[in-house]
């Protein structure tokens, strides 16, 4: 199995609904998103997938939440905008964008700080 990993990021604010503590108030992060795609085969030139393609698709997804209050962006109008839910959302969106290619999204990790992260692994 081959894995290709890229990093991207966005800035955004959120309120964790139902959370009793500081994070229950509006606050922001400079989020880092790490995406890993996997495949069991390489193309004719020995690549699993072009890093640039994965990064471009990921950045297109993150542009929807960059410099926003995530609570105001669907699906986070309904889902709590936790790092866990953001990771699954990125996975779902990216999976649709690369459907039909030889790679699958294997893991999405969302860092809300240098020491706190959550991952979605299907």
Residue among 67, 72, 78, 84 flagged as catalytic: 67
Alpha-carbon distance 109 to 86, whole Å? 9
Active site residue 69: no
Say how many residues make up the chain. 122
Who contacts 63 (Cβ-Cβ below 8 Å, separation ≥6)? Answer: 10
Assign 96 to helix, strand or coil: helix
Active site residue 67: yes
DSSP 70: G
**In the chain, what's the furthest Cα-to-Cα distance?**
54
Residue among 7, 23, 27, 72 flagged as catalytic: 23
What positions carry a catalytic annotation?
23, 67, 112
């Amino acid at each position: 199995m081959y894995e290709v990993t890229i990093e991207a990021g966005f800035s955004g604010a959120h309120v964790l609904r139902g959370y009793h503590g500081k994070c229950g108030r509006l606050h922001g992060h400079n989020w880092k998103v790490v995406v890993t795609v996997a495949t069991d085969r390489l193309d004719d030139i020995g690549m699993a997938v072009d890093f640039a393609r994965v990064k471009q698709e990921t950045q297109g997804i993150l542009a929807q939440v960059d410099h926003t209050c995530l609570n105001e962006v669907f699906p986070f109008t309904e889902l709590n905008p936790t790092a866990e839910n953001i990771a699954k959302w990125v996975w779902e969106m990216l999976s649709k964008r690369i459907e039909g290619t030889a790679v699958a999204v294997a893991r999405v990790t969302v860092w809300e700080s240098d020491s706190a992260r959550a991952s979605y692994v299907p």
